[in-house]
Each structure stands twice: as structure tokens, then as C-alpha cells.
Amino acid sequence: MIGWTGTASHAITLSNIVEGVTEHGYSNHLARLYTHIGESRGFTDGDSPRTPLPQHDLACDYMVSNFTAWGYDTWLDPFEFDVNFTYDNDSNSYHYADCNNVVATKWGSGGTNVFLLIAHYDSVDSGHRNVTMGPGADDGASGVAAQLTIAEAIKDYVFKDTIVFVACDAEEKDYQGSIYFRNNHVTENPAETNATTFLKSAIRACVNLDTIAYDDTNNVPQVVIGTLSGWNPVVTAVSSAMSKYTELTPRFKTGYDSSDHISFANIGIDSIHVIEYDFSDYWGDGFTPNPNYHSDFDAIDAPNYLKFDYAAEVTKGIAGALCEYATPIPPATLMETVGSNAVTVSWICAPNVDYRLYGACNLASNDWTFIQDIPATGMVTELRVELDLACVTQTMFKVIGE
Ligand SMILES: [Zn+2]
């Protein structure tokens, strides 16, 4: 009878994963989302139908190609809508066509919980705001850059529960993208769930990242964890992750009623809006509020404006919270199967760890014999080593990560 022991000496720490979020990675993604002065991810501003400007769709392509390359289950969620903007000096209703949410899922392994990380990639346009070309670097590409940075950092890890990134379209059009996703891809009926439809009761949290990259460096860096109304457990989870993984001080405030989290909060999903503290002087702290909000200069190249180190810190905190929620599966979870001629030792490995396989006849003697070196594979995968029973005298095996 061959036994086994699977105590792994190397474990993934959440800090290891969070360290994959870097300022360099963040600013690189933000720069590729058409966020410079003169660029726009808005829509045409004339008669109906109003359709996406070219850079809107190029940004969409950038997200889809990255999420796909990183192994996410990636799809477009097309929709159209009519809207009459109450805040414009215009009583017309307009039809908007060719909109797309971008959805990228990292399916969990065995768990039933779902965690939504949302942001919006459209920017304000001259059709309903006083801008010419709104590049929307902060509002809301800063949140999409965080989604991409996190997705890249966690791509090689296996999680127990499911993480869904939704880059919403048409947030600036009264949250039409998140409303469409909620109405068509969230269900209360378990029989209706599938690869693109999630069970409402399984969605434990919705974290919305919108406008997270401006910081007035004259005051202590803080971040707002906002809700539409009242406290919910996501506030505590994300606040504690901010304290644990970043230098930021989290500040809770309720009454945040103008971004995509409200689409989910309105049906009872625990949702938060993560936003830069210095967006507006809610607390009377006297700093300089975001000077370029909804303007032609909400741009990555506007002087003395966005702070990538600050945005990367916010992103790290969210990555930490997401990993704590979804639970990475530890490496070196050892399994052993015995055939008539061979024993197969297999385990889930971490991406950048070399393993050594040992065997022993008597566990009590703690006398392990080295069998084989297994170099790092660069990804999370199940490694399998088959040992010929005729040649193996050991009755127990262990793997150690180096
Ligand atoms: Zn906006």
C-alpha cells in the first residue's frame, strides 16, 4: 500500500500576487486606452443613431485582445438604447447603437461564489456634455487600466471562486451598459445560469472602479470606499485590504449615486464605488479637487494631473481584496494514483517555482530520498510525474518548492 504526504513547503502568498500590480504596468495600460489630449472614447453627437467614435472601439479591441491572450473567457455584450438626457438643454431623445460591454471571466475551480470587478471605458462626448474631445483618462479609463493590471497579475493563478471583469460601455449615458449587463446576465433562477449568465445570489460583491487616478499630493493619500446607501460587507473587506496591502487610508462614505455600481446595488447586490479621495472636497479638507473632470483635459498627458503611483496603490488594494475573496488554490496540492505498473504523483504548481520530488519508505524515520528535479513551468498547471513501480522502493512521496 503506497501512501503519500502532501505538505507543501512553498505557498502562494497574497502579497506575492499583489506585487504583480505595478505602477509601470498600470500606466502602460492606461496609455493604450486612447487617453491623450484630443482622443475620445465617446459617440457621435449628431442625429440618431449615435455610434461609437473610432477610438472607442479601438480601446474595446485592446481590452478584448489582452483578456483573451491572458486566458480569460472573453466576450462582447452588444446593446443599444434610447435616452433623453435630463441634464442637457435639449429635450430630444437619441438612439445609441453599436455599444458593447466587454466581459472577461476567470472561472473558479470548485467554488460557487462570483466576484464582479467593474469599470467603464466610454468617455464623455460633445453629444451631451461641454467637451470637444473628452479623453476620459481618469473618468473612467483609470478603472479599466486597473482591471487590466489586475487581470494580468492574476492570470497564472488558480482561484476557488469566479472573478468576472466587466468593462461597461455607456456609463456616461445614464449607466446604460451596466444596466444592460445586469438585466441580461444576472438571474435569480439557477436553471438560467450559463457561461454568460450569473446567479444573483452567487454574486458576493460588486466593486466599481471609476475615477481613481487623480491625487492632490499636498495631502495624505486616501481612497474613498463609497456606497449608494448604507454599509455593506464589501466596504469592510476592501477597506481592510487597502490597509493591509497599501499605504492608503480608506474612507467610507455613503450616498455615491453616480456610477455603474448603482445598477447592481439597486437589485440588492453588495456593491461599492472606489473613487479617488481628492475627486471632490466632501470632507472639507481644503485640497484641490479634480480640476479636469469631464473636460478635454482629463488626459494622461495633461500636466501635473494624474498620479500613476497613487492609482497603482488603489489597484493593489483591490487586487488584494479580490484575491482574499476568490481564494487562490495553493500550489503543491499533492495527489497520487497507483496503476498496475506505475505510481503517478501530481500536484498543482505555482508559476515560478522549481520543485523537487522526494520519496520515503518510512515516514516515521523522516529519511527522504531525492528522486527528481522539476523546473518551473511559468504557469499554474497540474504537474504529473510517473514513476515505474519496479524501480521505486519508496512508499510515500512529497514535493518541495524551491
Ligand atoms: Zn463621468
Task: Output the domain CATH number for residue 397.
Answer: 2.60.40
Give distance in angstroms: CA of 291 to centre of ligand 1.
13
If asked whether residues 75 and 171 sit together in one domain, one would say yes
If asked whether residues 284 and 396 sit together in one domain, one would say no
Give distance in angstroms: CA of 373 to centre of ligand 1.
54
Select from 326, 352, 385 the last residue of a domain: 326
Give distance in angstroms: CA of 365 to centre of ligand 1.
66
Give distance in angstroms: CA of 124 to centre of ligand 1.
6
Cis bond before residue 140 (omega within 30° of 0): yes
Residue 2 lies in a domain: no
If asked whether residues 183 and 287 sit together in one domain, one would say yes
Give distance in angstroms: CA of 254 to centre of ligand 1.
18
Give distance in angstroms: CA of 177 to centre of ligand 1.
13
Domain, as residue range, for 373: 334-401
If asked whether residues 378 and 277 sit together in one domain, one would say no
Give distance in angstroms: CA of 174 to centre of ligand 1.
10
If asked whether residues 37 and 133 sit together in one domain, one would say yes
Give distance in angstroms: CA of 271 to centre of ligand 1.
18
79 by DSSP, 3-state: which? strand
| Region for 98 from its dihedrals, namely left if φ exceeds 0, alpha if ψ lies in -120 to 50, beta otherwise | left
Q: Residue 17 to residues 14, 31, 119, 309, 320: CA-CA distances in angstroms?
A: 5, 23, 21, 18, 8
Residue 1 lies in a domain: no
Give distance in angstroms: CA of 273 to centre of ligand 1.
13
Residue 3 lies in a domain: no
CATH number of the domain residue 307 falls in: 3.40.630.10
For residue 207 the three cell numbers come to 466593486
114 by DSSP, 3-state: which? strand
Residue 369 lies in a domain: yes
pLDDT by position in tens, the chain (length 402)? 344 444 444 455 788 889 999 999 999 999 999 999 999 999 999 999 999 999 999 999 999 999 999 999 999 999 999 998 877 767 889 999 999 999 999 998 778 899 999 999 999 999 877 899 999 999 999 999 999 999 999 987 888 899 999 999 999 999 999 999 999 999 999 999 999 999 999 999 999 999 999 999 888 899 999 999 999 999 999 999 999 999 999 999 999 999 999 999 999 999 999 999 999 988 888 899 999 999 999 999 999 999 999 999 999 999 999 999 998 876 556 677 777 788 888 877 766 677 888 887 776 666 788 888 988 777 767 788 888 877 777 777 777 766
Give distance in angstroms: CA of 125 to centre of ligand 1.
10
Residues with Cβ within 8 Å of residue 48, at least 6 apart in sequence:
94, 95, 96
If asked whether residues 262 and 344 sit together in one domain, one would say no
- From the list 258, 151, 139, the residue with the least C-alpha distance to 210 is 139
